[in-house]
Amino acid sequence: MFQIYVLPMIIFAGIGVFAAILLTVFSKVFEVKTDERIEAVNEALPQVNCGSCGYSGCSDYASAIVNKGEAVNLCRPGGSECSRKISKIMGVTAEDAVPQVAVVLCNGDCNATSNKYVFHGIQSCLAANRFYNGSEDCTHGCLGFGDCAAVCPNDAIIIKDRLARIDKSKCIGCGLCTKACPNHLIVVHDITQRIDVCCSSTEIGKIVKSVCSSGCIGCKICEKKCEYDAIHVIDNLARIDYTKCTSCGKCADACPTKAIRKCDTIYEVKLKKE
Amino acid sequence: MKSLFVILLSAILVNNFVLSKFMGICAFLGVSKKLDSAVGMGIAVTFVMICSTAITYPIYLLILVPMGLEYLKTIAFILIIALFVQIVEIVLKKKIPSLYKALGVYLPLITTNCAVLGVAILNINNSYSFVQSVVNALGAGLGFSLALVIFSGVRSRLEAADIPEMFKGVPATLIAASIVSVSFMGFAGMFS
pLDDT at A198 exceeding the cut of 80: yes
Same domain flag for A157 and A141: yes
Taking only the tens place, the pLDDT of each residue in B5-63 is 888 888 888 888 888 888 888 888 888 888 888 888 898 899 899 999 998 999 899 88
Residue A137 dihedral angles phi and psi, to the nearest 5°: -65, -40
Q: Tell me which of B192 and A33 has the higher pLDDT.
A: A33
Q: What is the mean pLDDT of residues A233-253?
A: 87
Task: Quote the DSSP letter at residue B70.
Answer: G
pLDDT at A168: 81
pLDDT at A17 exceeding the cut of 90: yes
Mapping DSSP onto H, E and C, the string for A129-172 reads HHCCCCCECCCCCCCCCCHHHHHCCCCCEEEECCEEEECCCCCC
pLDDT at B101 exceeding the cut of 90: no
Give the pTM.
Answer: 0.56
Beta pairing partners, A231: A240
Same domain flag for A115 and A166: yes
| Domain around A18 | 1-30
- What CATH number is given to the structural domain containing A241? 3.30.70.20
Q: Which of A245, A266, A51 lies closest to A168 in space, CA to CA? A: A266
The residue type at A83: S
ipTM over 0.85: no
Burial of B74 (0-12, 13-18, 19+ CB in 10 A): exposed
Q: Which of A227, A222, A234, A224 lies closest to A260 in space, CA to CA? A: A222
Taking only the tens place, the pLDDT of each residue in A120-131 is 888 888 888 888
3-class SS at A262?
A: strand
Q: Which conformational region is residue A155 in: left (phi greater than 0), alpha (psi within -120 to 50 degrees), or beta? A: left
Question: Distance, in angstroms, between A63 CA and closest chain B CA?
Answer: 13
In this complex, is the C-beta atom of A132 within 8 Å of any C-beta atom belonging to chain B? no
Same domain flag for A254 and A132: yes
Same domain flag for A106 and A139: yes
Give the chain B residue nearest A7 (alpha carbons). Answer: B67
Does A201 fall in a domain? yes
Asked whether the beta carbons of residue A30 and residue B90 sit closer than 8 angstroms, the reply is: yes
pLDDT at B53: 92
Percent of chain A with pLDDT over 90: 3
pLDDT-derived band at A272 (thresholds 50, 70, 90) equals: low
Cβ atoms of B34 and B152 within 8 Å: the answer is yes
Write out the residues of chain B at the interface with chain A, using a CB-CB cutoff of 8 A: 59, 63-64, 67-69, 72, 75-76, 79-80, 82-83, 86-87, 90-91, 93-95, 97
Q: Which of A174, A226, A180 lies closest to A55 in space, CA to CA? A: A174
pLDDT-derived band at A97 (thresholds 50, 70, 90) equals: low
| CB atoms closer than 10 angstroms to residue B1 | 5
Q: Alpha carbon of A55 to those of A48, A88, A93, B45: distances in Å? A: 12, 21, 22, 31
pLDDT at A161: 84
All structural domains of chain B with their residue ranges: 16-185
Strands A195-197 and A157-160: unpaired
Task: Quote the DSSP letter at residue A112.
Answer: T
> Which chain B residues are Cβ-neighbours of A11 within 8 angstroms?
63-64, 67, 69, 72, 76
Q: Alpha carbon of A147 to those of A104, A122, A126: distances in Å? A: 13, 12, 8
Mapping DSSP onto H, E and C, the string for A216-232 reads CCCCCHHHHHCCCCCEE
pLDDT at A264: 64
Total of domains in chain A: 3
Q: What is the mean pLDDT of residues A109-135?
A: 85
Sign of the CA dihedral running A114, A120, A125, A129: negative
pLDDT at B171 exceeding the cut of 60: yes
Same domain flag for A224 and A105: yes
Q: Alpha carbon of A36 to those of A62, A89, A90: distances in Å? A: 11, 10, 11
Does A95 fall in a domain? no
pLDDT-derived band at A266 (thresholds 50, 70, 90) equals: low
- What CATH number is given to the structural domain containing A47? 1.10.15.40
pLDDT at A32: 74
Residue A190 dihedral angles phi and psi, to the nearest 5°: -55, 145
Q: Tell me which of A273 and A110 has the higher pLDDT.
A: A110
pLDDT-derived band at B1 (thresholds 50, 70, 90) equals: low
> Which chain A residues are Cβ-neighbours of B91 within 8 angstroms?
26, 30
- Chosen for mutation from A27, A28, A35 (greatest number of chain B CBs closer than 10 Å) is A27
3-class SS at A186?
A: strand
Taking only the tens place, the pLDDT of each residue in B107-147 is 888 888 888 999 999 999 888 899 999 999 999 999 999 99
Instruction: Lowest mean pLDDT of A32-36, A68-72, B112-116, B152-156, name the range.
Output: A32-36
pLDDT at A268 exceeding the cut of 60: no
Instruction: Output the CA torsion B66→B70→B74→B78 (10° steps).
Output: 0
Residues contacting B140, CB < 8 A, separation 6+: B11, B17, B49, B115, B118, B119
pLDDT at A83: 81
Asked whether the beta carbons of residue A31 and residue B94 sit closer than 8 angstroms, the reply is: yes
Does A80 fall in a domain? yes
Sign of the CA dihedral running B100, B101, B102, B107: positive
Same domain flag for A257 and A178: yes
pLDDT at A214 exceeding the cut of 90: no
Triad A51, A57, A60: Cα angle to 5°: 125
Taking only the tens place, the pLDDT of each residue in B62-74 is 888 888 888 888 8
Q: What is the mean pLDDT of residues B142-169?
A: 89
Same domain flag for A168 and A122: yes
pLDDT at A273 exceeding the cut of 60: no
> Which chain B residues are Cβ-neighbours of A32 within 8 angstroms?
93-94, 97
Same domain flag for A146 and A254: yes
pLDDT at B150: 93
Window A:19-78, CB contacts with B under 8 Å: 19, 22-23, 26-27, 30-32
pLDDT at B192 exceeding the cut of 60: no
For residues A257 and B33, what is the distance between their CA atoms, to the nearest angstrom? 54
pLDDT at B2: 63
Does A140 fall in a domain? yes
Residue ending a domain, choose from A50, A66, A90: A90
pLDDT at A253 exceeding the cut of 80: yes
Does A161 fall in a domain? yes
Q: What is the mean pLDDT of residues A187-211?
A: 86
pLDDT at A265 exceeding the cut of 60: no
Angle, helices A58-68/A36-44, rounded to nearest 10 degrees: 130
Same domain flag for A143 and A243: yes
Same domain flag for A80 and A124: no
For residues A87 and A108, what is the distance between their CA atoms, to the nearest angstrom? 43
Q: What is the mean pLDDT of residues A8-29?
A: 89
Q: Tell me which of A99 and A198 has the higher pLDDT.
A: A198
**First vs last Cα of chain A: how many Å apart?**
74
Strands A186-190 and A100-104: antiparallel
pLDDT at B138: 94
For the ranges A14-23, A184-193, A245-254, the maximum mean pLDDT occurs at: A14-23
Instruction: Lowest mean pLDDT of A96-105, A132-141, B151-160, name the range.
Output: A96-105
Same domain flag for A111 and A151: yes
Same domain flag for A26 and A122: no
